[in-house]
Amino acid sequence: MRHSEVWGLRDVPAATPNYTPSDDQPDIVLIGFVWNEGAERIDFPITNRQGITRQPDYIQVVMTYDPFVLAIVQDNLYLYGQALHIAPHLMTEHCPRYDPSDLHIFKMYDSHRAEMDTLVHGLEDELAIAEVHWWQKLMTERVKLEHNMQQVLQSVHDTSMEQEQIQICMEAANLLAHLDFARQLCCPRRGCHS
């Protein structure tokens, strides 16, 4: 997508994203985008059509169900996006292995959630914040799915029990023998054609 298409004032030359700003004027960017530097910097190498790779000048973290980052490179017409995941700090062989129960501290309805959120935000690492956000959403979705699965399993059980009750009633009434007798009445001794 061309980010020039989402700019509010794209007909005004000074508001187009790919203009070269003068030294005494700041860049004009969309609301929500921040300069990609410091604690909020996100590594997002972008290669243009000429094969030149650069980091974006502006980024915006979008905290949806599956967090992602939008990026703008100055002098480039396009708006870039990619999934947002925490960057590894340890080599694979030195990575700790977490028990899933260790991560319950991030549950949406945990009594210490506010404290955890404050600590995570205190890291000033957008990738860590996004990863925790995504984990919380997935845990919530999993609880919903497990609840739905329990309801489905209960419905299957209830249906099986009803079927069994009906079968017992049919057996007590000897329904199949009655149907066989009725079939013989419809087709007496001459032999019926099915």
Per residue in 72-119, pLDDT (tens digit) is: 888 777 888 887 766 655 556 677 777 777 777 777 777 777 888 888
CA angle, corner 127, sides to 122 and 128, nearest 5?
50
Question: What is the domain count for the chain?
Answer: 2
Are 6 and 71 in the same domain? Answer: yes
The reported pTM is 0.44
Q: How far is CA 28 from CA 36, 87, 141, in A?
A: 14, 29, 39
How confident is the model over 19-45, as a mean pLDDT?
A: 70
In-domain check, residue 74: yes
Contact 136, 67 (CB under 8 A): no
Q: Which of 42, 57, 84 is the last residue of a domain?
A: 84
CA-CA distance, 44 to 53, in Å (whole number)? Answer: 10
% of the chain exceeding 90 in pLDDT: 14
Are 29 and 68 in the same domain? Answer: yes
DSSP-derived secondary structure letter, 94 = G
Range of the domain at 62: 1-84
